[in-house]
């Protein structure tokens, strides 16, 4: 095992201990291939599933697997208009398993997430029976303040470019603290613990994934 991989595993062990104190179930996988298998292992026959926008889930191949599966799948991108999107979200918010990543995770086990419309963090907070988070070890930060700064200056700019958003971070490559119509940082959510024991499950991956 390379030194970096060993360091990731050591850090993951300490994070999982922190998660346990916060009612969060933690796991560690060395590779994205292992993470995909782990994520699939949670699913049960006939269950309903959905996900929040995530480059990490795309990179490990989970979205393609879910779309090709026999599970009851709700994909918000299939909505044809605002009314259909509203009806679809009503189903997504009560699925058995909701997948997402976390924008940042503190060394003390807190989850830091920033959203535009808030559909992803809404499901993290309440609704789906199980929330399964997949996060590369590049998402680790010392504390909440560092996590917010990481998201706004390292994750939001490439996401703005990817989505074609008309925001300062698209052109500057860093946060402009904007209040623009396309702002993607409208909702900032810090998850200190899971109110329902082990409802939130975090799969840490010993690779750099997502933004």
pLDDT tens digits along 195-207: 999 999 999 999 9
| Those residues with Cβ within 8 angstroms of residue 165's Cβ, 6 or more apart along the chain or in another chain | 159, 182, 184
Residue 1 confidence (pLDDT): 72
Of the candidates 87, 2, 103, the one whose C-alpha atom is nearest the C-alpha of residue 52 is 103
Residue 70 burial (CB < 10 Å; 0-12/13-18/19+)?
exposed
Residue 5 confidence (pLDDT): 87
Per-residue pLDDT at 69 exceeds 90: yes
Summary mean pLDDT of the chain: 95
Q: What is the pTM of this model?
A: 0.95
pLDDT digits (tens, 9 = 90+) for 95-151: 999 999 999 999 999 999 999 989 999 999 999 999 999 999 999 999 999 999 999
Structure tokens at 170: 């698209």
Note whether 62 and 34 are within 8 A (CB).
no
**E-assigned strands of the chain?**
25-29, 48-51, 72-73, 97-100, 104-106, 111-115, 130-136, 140-141, 187-191, 200-205
Cα 127 to Cα 98: distance, rounded to the nearest angstrom: 9
For tokens 């590779």, what's the residue?
31
Give the SS3 label for residue 131.
strand
Write down all domains in the chain, each with its CATH number in brackets.
3-205 (3.40.50.10420)
């Amino acid at each position: 095992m390379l030194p970096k991989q060993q360091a990731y595993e050591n850090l993951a062990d300490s994070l999982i201990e922190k998660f346990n104190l916060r009612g969060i179930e933690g796991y560690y996988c060395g590779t994205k291939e292992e993470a995909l298998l782990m994520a699939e292992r949670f699913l049960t026959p006939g269950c309903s599933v959905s996900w929040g926008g995530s480059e990490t889930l795309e990179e490990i191949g989970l979205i393609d697997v879910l779309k090709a599966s026999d599970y009851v799948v709700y994909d918000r991108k299939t909505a044809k208009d605002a009314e259909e999107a509203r009806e679809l979200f009503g189903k997504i918010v009560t699925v058995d398993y909701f997948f997402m990543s976390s924008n940042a995770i503190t060394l003390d086990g807190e989850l830091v997430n920033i959203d535009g419309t808030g559909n992803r963090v809404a499901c993290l907070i309440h609704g789906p029976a199980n929330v399964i988070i997949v996060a590369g070890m590049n998402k680790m930060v010392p504390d909440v303040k560092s996590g917010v700064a990481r998201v706004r200056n390292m994750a939001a700019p490439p996401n703005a470019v990817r989505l074609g958003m008309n925001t300062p971070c698209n052109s500057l490559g860093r946060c402009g603290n904007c209040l623009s119509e396309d702002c993607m940082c409208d909702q900032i959510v810090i998850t200190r613990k899971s109110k329902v024991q082990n409802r939130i499950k975090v799969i840490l991956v010993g690779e750099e994934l997502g933004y």
